[in-house]
Amino acid sequence: MKTRTLGILCLILLLGAAGNLRAQGGTLEIPLVTMYDLDSTVPIYCATTGVSGVLSPGHPMPEKVLTVGSSTTITAVAPATTAPFTLVAAGDYLEFVIKGVKYYRVVMTRTSADEVVVDTAIDLSAIATGYPFTYRVRACGTTIADGWFPVAGYKGLTALLQIGQMVLTAPGYIDFYVQCRAMGADNDPIDIYSPNTILTYRVGGYTAVQTQNDAVAVDLTFGNFAECRVGSMINGADDAAGDAAANMEQITTKAILRN
């Protein structure tokens, strides 16, 4: 299936890192992927899904979990036989509510069905019986079917693009893709922001010395779009030193929908 390029002047702005789902003031924030270890040399599209799709809240879990003080290790409440992380995998989102405030963490390692390691420490020790949580499932793929989220009924989309870390063999760089499509018999993806949109794309791609974070604004009413997706790829070769710890690529993308 072919991809078309639409010559839309996208708004490119600096942004801060974030990856949280919340609805506020007529907007809906959708975490697509956070701290993703990008290895693909073709465009790969990611999104996280909740109970009934990308735009829905996370899956609720009745089992409760704890930490020992403030920690990145989260475990099941003893006796550890409830297996609260059975359906959770690395890359998935966890959401906790502590004194009415929502906290989000990304699973870096699923040690077992009773224990995970997350990206940032959290304190779940104040209540001895533990805290409930919800989770969102991350899915990534390179096919025409991957990464889409519905945008019908919304007027605008802002795609947040962030490179937390990258180590590539020169002259390698990272490319981002923002695509949208309408419904109907002829619904080929349209490039809103990609190397093909040469008038608006970051010159030279995203290199190790040019990793500023960008925001791409899309007028959804302009093309009467029904779905959009955000992808990324390594253009060139990964570094020869390996692909772990300080040598891995870390990609974060988020979508903000506006009424």
Domain chopping of the chain, boundaries = 4-43+142-258, 59-138
pLDDT (tens digit, 0 to 9) for every residue of the chain, 259 residues total?
445 444 433 333 333 333 334 445 588 999 999 889 898 999 999 999 999 999 988 999 888 999 999 999 999 997 656 789 999 999 999 999 898 898 999 999 999 999 999 999 999 999 989 999 999 999 999 999 999 999 999 999 999 999 888 877 777 888 999 999 998 777 889 999 998 887 788 877 787 665 668 899 999 988 889 999 999 998 877 765 556 667 678 899 999 999 8
Tokens in use for 205? 């791609």
Instruction: For domain 4-43+142-258, give the CATH number.
Output: 2.60.120
Alpha helix positions (H), the chain: none
Distance of alpha carbon 182 from alpha carbon 48, whole angstroms: 21
Q: Supply the CATH classification number for the domain 59-138.
A: 2.40.30
Q: Where are the beta strands (DSSP E) in 67-114?
A: 70-76, 93-98, 101-112
Length of the chain: 259
The amino acid sitting at 57 is P
Tokens of 49: 């899904």
Q: How confident is the model at residue 16, as a pLDDT?
A: 32
**Which residue carries 């920690």 as its tokens?**
71
Q: Residue 84 and residue 9: Cα distance in Å, rounded?
A: 46
Number of Cβ atoms within 10 Å of the Cβ of 98: 13
Q: What pLDDT, on a 0 to 100 scale, did the predictor assign at position 15?
A: 31
Residues 6+ apart with CB under 8 A from 246: 165, 167
What is the model's pLDDT at position 207? 76
59-138 shares the fold of 4-43+142-258:
no
* DSSP code at position 133: E
Question: What region does 183 belong to: left with phi over 0, alpha with psi -120 to 50, or beta?
Answer: beta
Return d(Cα 252, Cα 82) in angstroms, integer.
31
The per-residue pLDDT for 75 is 94
